[in-house]
Amino acid sequence: MIHLPSGFNYTRGRETLARAQVFKRSWPFFLDLAVAALCLAAFYGVLQIVKFWTGKAEPEFVVSLKPSSLPLYAFYSVVRIGLAYLLSLVFAIGYGYIAAYNKRAESLMIAALDILQSIPVLSFLPGVMLAMVALFPTRQLGVEMGAIVLIFTGQVWNMAFSFYSSLKSLPRELGEASNIYGFSTWQRFWQLELPFGTIGLVWNSMISVAGGWFFLMACEMFVLGDRDFRLPGLGSYLQTAASADNIPAMIYGILTVIAIIVATDQLVWRPVIAWSDKFKIEQTAGADRINSPILHFIQHSNALGAIKRHTFVPLSESIYKRVAERNREYRARQAAGQVKDTPVWLRVGVLILLGAVVLYAATSALLKLREIHQGQYLLVLEGAGATFLRVNVSLLLAALWTIPAGVAIGFNPKLARIVQPIVQVAASFPAPILFPIIILGLLRMGGGLGIGSIVLMLLGTQWYILFNVIAGAMAIPSDLREVATLFQFTRWQRWQTVILPGIFPYLITGLVTASGGAWNASIIAEYFHLKGQTLQTLGLGAQISAASDKGLFQILLLATIVMALMVVTVNRLVWRPLYRLAETKYKLS
């Protein structure tokens, strides 16, 4: 028998229950209205972008510091970073997949990745921007595409490393199971390899977007020789406000950046993290799961559900069926000897053609180095040594706090819900905005830019390690942690047998990309414009920035080559052996 409290109003209770039922029935309708509104807003935004990009080019756009200009500038910057991220995601997945499974190309592709991630954004700038402007000389699209590709060069490399590392550490039994069930290459990719690499890709995506904000100021407003390139956006707004010493405008711009980052965290990253949690490999369900109201909204929308049922599900089934049929036909032809390999002469001809193009480009570039005298060579080498020391000190300082902090956040979903938005804001915040404050403070305390640049590098590199450690900690199966608790491991035993082996592949990826990020950050940390003055210290980053400002392409080329050689050497001697260790000893299987 159910005993109701005294004074219970039966009529009011029935009315409350009826209202709750009506709301439950009508809630999907409101979700569908929200989806329709978002689709209309996205369509209008696309129209605005197309209209602006197809208009005439504005070589020297005048940046307005009025607060009313911020919504439009924020929209343009978000679109640039978003398109650069989508380009980075597609490139990272394709590049990482080919490098992981093509034994012939793997060494060359990883070496190229080492070189490319060590090249600063400003080194890509002359070639990328001039090429894009030449493709679209009379349209705004050329400058916009140049800025997007430059932001892409600051986002993509850690994502490619992450997906490559995930594929190399794929558990052997999962691969064997996919072979037993006769998965096609397409099915294996969509149902095994991409899900396994999702957690690492998600957290590296967050730090990649943060890197896009870091270099936004350099990509939206810069000088190339005697040409001044400016784009309407938050980066150019903040850089103009800092140059004009307009404190109110800087505050408005900073608040706008923070608002966008918080909105992105709640509307994009939180739902994606909650969704990616289902790809965690474990035998028992974890007690705590990350949840997201936005993900719940997406999963319970009737409109999105109908689109999925009537569009994506039939399309995916049709694709899987066609791929399976083609695989059976190919195997049958292969067994019958009807499949012919590519002619040797064609492969050799393509290689010769590519080799000739590369040789011509390399020879033309090296001929530029004849314009450099001996004193400049010595100065570049001295700068390389100074920057090398700063990079390693900043890596050590970053690792000391990010490893324990990342493990704590990854192991505790409740803590992650509180700390992750804060970390995301801090990581995405354009650190160059803080540089004037930090530099002025250091100068007043008697320190110089030589020491201050280490602090500035730390601001731009520590997040690569932190986010990868968080992803590694979240990927550790809950049953392994429960076994450690059951056997009453001490804290040191947990770290030695569960935590460090579990996060090791992710930690190496974070350290490699953080190292490349530190070299990249040196171009801003060692050379800075402040109140009409140029502050710089001895270093490769300062020489690259100065050469870009003055249009000295031969110095820019030499400094870039030296930086790439140093990064590749360290990767070959240190990081590559650690990668092999992660693929063998610390592989989850």
Q: What is the pLDDT of residues 29-76, one digit of tens each?
A: 666 676 667 777 777 777 777 777 776 766 667 788 888 889 988 898
Instruction: For 470-507, write each residue's pLDDT tens digit.
Output: 888 887 877 787 888 888 888 888 888 888 888 888 88
Is 102's pLDDT higher than 80? yes
> Average model confidence (pLDDT) for the chain?
77
The answer to whether domain 66-288+374-584 has CATH 2.40.50.140 is no
Determine phi and psi for 49, rounding to 5 degrees.
-65, -45
- Under the banding of pLDDT at 50, 70 and 90, the label for residue 12 is low
Instruction: For 226-257, write each residue's pLDDT tens digit.
Output: 666 778 888 888 878 877 778 888 888 888 88
Q: What pLDDT, on a 0 to 100 scale, did the predictor assign at position 39?
A: 73
Q: What pLDDT, on a 0 to 100 scale, did the predictor assign at position 526?
A: 82
- Selection from 259, 263, 255 nearest residue 237 by Cα: 255
Q: What pLDDT, on a 0 to 100 scale, did the predictor assign at position 393?
A: 92
Determine phi and psi for 181, rounding to 5 degrees.
-85, 0
Q: What pLDDT, on a 0 to 100 scale, did the predictor assign at position 1?
A: 47
C-alpha to C-alpha distance for 172 and 169, rounded to whole angstroms: 9
C-alpha to C-alpha distance for 215 and 248, rounded to whole angstroms: 22
Instruction: For 449-470, write each residue's pLDDT tens digit.
Output: 777 788 878 877 888 888 888 8
217 burial type by CB count under 10 A (0-12 exposed, 13-18 middle, 19+ buried): buried
Average pLDDT of the segment spanning 126-131: 72
174 burial type by CB count under 10 A (0-12 exposed, 13-18 middle, 19+ buried): middle
Q: What percent of the chain has pLDDT over 90?
A: 5
Half-sphere exposure of 21 (CA within 13 A, CB side): 6
Q: What pLDDT, on a 0 to 100 scale, did the predictor assign at position 87?
A: 92
Instruction: For 402-413, write each residue's pLDDT tens digit.
Output: 999 988 888 887
Is 315's pLDDT higher than 50? yes
Residue for token pair 């260790």: 581
- Under the banding of pLDDT at 50, 70 and 90, the label for residue 580 is confident
C-alpha to C-alpha distance for 161 and 201, rounded to whole angstroms: 10
Average pLDDT of the segment spanning 141-164: 84
37-41, 280-284, 392-396: range with lowest mean pLDDT: 280-284
pTM: 0.71
**343, 347, 348, 350 alpha-carbon torsion, rounded to 10°:** 140
Is 23's pLDDT higher than 50? no
- Helices and strands (DSSP H and E) totals, the chain: 27, 4
Q: Which residues contact 501 (CB under 8 A, 6 or more apart)?
A: 585, 586
C-alpha to C-alpha distance for 44 and 49, rounded to whole angstroms: 9
The more confidently predicted of residues 201 and 344 is 201
- Under the banding of pLDDT at 50, 70 and 90, the label for residue 187 is confident
Determine phi and psi for 338, rounding to 5 degrees.
-90, -10
Per-domain residue ranges of the chain:
66-288+374-584
Determine phi and psi for 489, rounding to 5 degrees.
-65, 145
- Under the banding of pLDDT at 50, 70 and 90, the label for residue 16 is low
Residue for token pair 């430059």: 150
Q: What pLDDT, on a 0 to 100 scale, did the predictor assign at position 492?
A: 86
Average pLDDT of the segment spanning 344-372: 77
